[in-house]
Structure 1
Amino acid sequence: MTQAGLEFDNVAVSVTDLDRSLEWYERVLGFQVFYRTFSTAVGAELVVIQRGGARIELLLKDGARRNPEADVVPGPHLLTTGVKAIVFRTDDLEGITEYLESCDVTFDWKVRTLSADGLRSTMIRDPDGVLINVLSYPTAT
């Protein structure tokens, strides 16, 4: 047996308000609903949203509350294991950052250099505090 038939599908994110999160991911990042159901296995409403080949699974379980670590500062948050951010990439970080400013999102930083070789990013948060990182890789010389 091999992993030949295995494909990445999505990243799952638990939310506190499904309608608010759906509106935000559609308006800010251009995602659209791909699949919607109720998962009896976990007792949660489940919506898979898609943009191009990228998918995010939004889950709402009754009684869900905001993660108390959602306001953690990027950097120290790496001292605990687990998924830390949903990451996108762009060749136009300044343009995307300007667009995100027009969307009235919460920023952790704008157009920050992350490494000596020129990796840069803009970091925002979704309505529940999930980090969304937009990377711009250095161009090869």
Structure 2
Amino acid sequence: MPAMNITPLPYAALAPDQIGIRPPDGRLPADIRIGTVALQIADLARSLAFYEDVLGFQVLRRSEGTPAAGAVAELGAAGSEQALLVLHEQLGVRPVPRRGLLGLYHFAILLPSRADLGRFLRHVHVLGVRIGSSDHLYSEATYLTDPDGITVEVYRDRPRSEWQVSEQGEIQSALDPLDLPAVLQAAGDTRWQGLPAGTTIGHMHFYTGSLAQAAAFYHAALGLDKVTWSLPGALFVSAGGYHHHVGLNVWAAGSPAATAQDARLLSWELWLPDAASRDAAAARLQQAGFPTEPAPEGIAATDPWGNRLLLRTDGERARH
């Protein structure tokens, strides 16, 4: 059932400029994408056993630890040298408690097709890995927890022709049961061979202490549209009419924020098409009272709960 008590419309029933609520002072371009996610974890060998063997990442590059810094591994999908995930070992960091810490709720791996999701589900079932799952109307999703207690979503998107919206342009979401037999059937006889070519980081989702503060940073200043705003305790924002590039919730409100002593998110990248759109976003953040600073990877900003965002451009990707 839809999460909101309305009569939904097909997504295509509304014009693109009727989807969502635009930010007041400037909007990110439609063709943004999420880049590399960097995590701090306690034991690199233990984490690699999960991220390689269970999730299907490939190790692209690896450096051993030194007295000053822990070991680091860059991970990606088949056929690409672009890192989707970087694991930074910091011995002794605490696992994420069951209730969560303000900061990362989960990062989400977007598979190219329903068949890929079916192959992944069959793979983790054979391994005996416990997962959660849900049908969100616009996507079919599974959830796993890594050895440090960090949650990872693995999902596939439905075509936008199957999405639903309200008359007000709110993208409709749900927590329906996943149709597991149909997803497995889509896999056919092909075996899972790791994350396939075309896999990306589809979205980020954060525990926050206040949806108003979260909207001030991600919507009003950064420039993402509000696209789902009626879910209890949650707000989803995106560019280009996507169901969400960033999820925000207050489901762990009252918990402390993740610190340097915790397994946590270190940074995540948002890629913009050009320097003009990157600089405009950075200027809006600065004007709204969220400091930005130049970084080797682009322009850095940090949200009120310590989530470090790196604004990058396609020109920088070409130079690297």
| Alignment TM-score > 0.5, same fold | yes
The answer to whether the aligner puts 1:16 opposite 2:36 as a matched pair is no
Q: Hey, what does 2:135 align to over in structure 1?
A: 113
What's the TM-score, normalizing by structure 1?
Answer: 0.69
For the Cα contact (< 8 Å) 1:37–1:45, is it kept in 2? yes
What do the CA deviations read for 1:63-119 (whole angstroms, capped 9, x no partner)? Answer: 22212x3x23xxxx6x94x33212122322344222222222232x12x122xx442
Q: Hey, what does 1:3 align to over in structure 2?
A: none
For residue 97 of structure 1, give the secondary structure of its aligned residue in structure 2: helix
Q: Where does the alignment leave 5 or more consecutive residues of structure 2 unmatched?
A: 1-32, 163-320
For the Cα contact (< 8 Å) 1:113–1:119, is it kept in 2? yes
Partner Cα separation in structure 1 for residue 127 and residue 83 of structure 2: 21
The answer to whether the aligner puts 1:89 opposite 2:118 as a matched pair is no
Structure with the bigger RCO (C-alpha within 8 Å, sep 6+) is 2
Following superposition of structure 1 onto structure 2, how do residues 47-86 of structure 1 map, counting pairs within 5 Å?
A: 47-51=73-77, 52=80, 53-67=82-96, 69=97, 71-72=98-99, 80=102, 82-86=103-107
Q: Cα distance 1:22–1:54, how it changes in 2: closer, same or farther (>3 A)?
A: same
* Rg larger in structure: 2
Q: Hey, what does 2:69 align to over in structure 1?
A: 43
Q: Cα distance 1:133–1:101, how it changes in 2: closer, same or farther (>3 A)?
A: same
How much is the aligned-residue C-alpha RMSD, in angstroms?
2.9
Query: Matched residue pairs, number?
Result: 123
Greater fraction strand: 1
Which runs of structure 1 show a deviation greater than 4 angstroms over 4 or more consecutive aligned residues? none
Partner Cα separation in structure 2 for residue 95 and residue 63 of structure 1: 35
Q: Where does the alignment leave 5 or more consecutive residues of structure 1 unmatched?
A: 1-6
For the Cα contact (< 8 Å) 1:44–1:62, is it kept in 2? yes
Identity %: 25
The answer to whether the aligner puts 1:99 opposite 2:128 as a matched pair is no
For the Cα contact (< 8 Å) 1:105–1:125, is it kept in 2? no
Partner Cα separation in structure 2 for residue 19 and residue 138 of structure 1: 35
Q: 1:126 aligns with which of 146, 160, 165?
A: 146
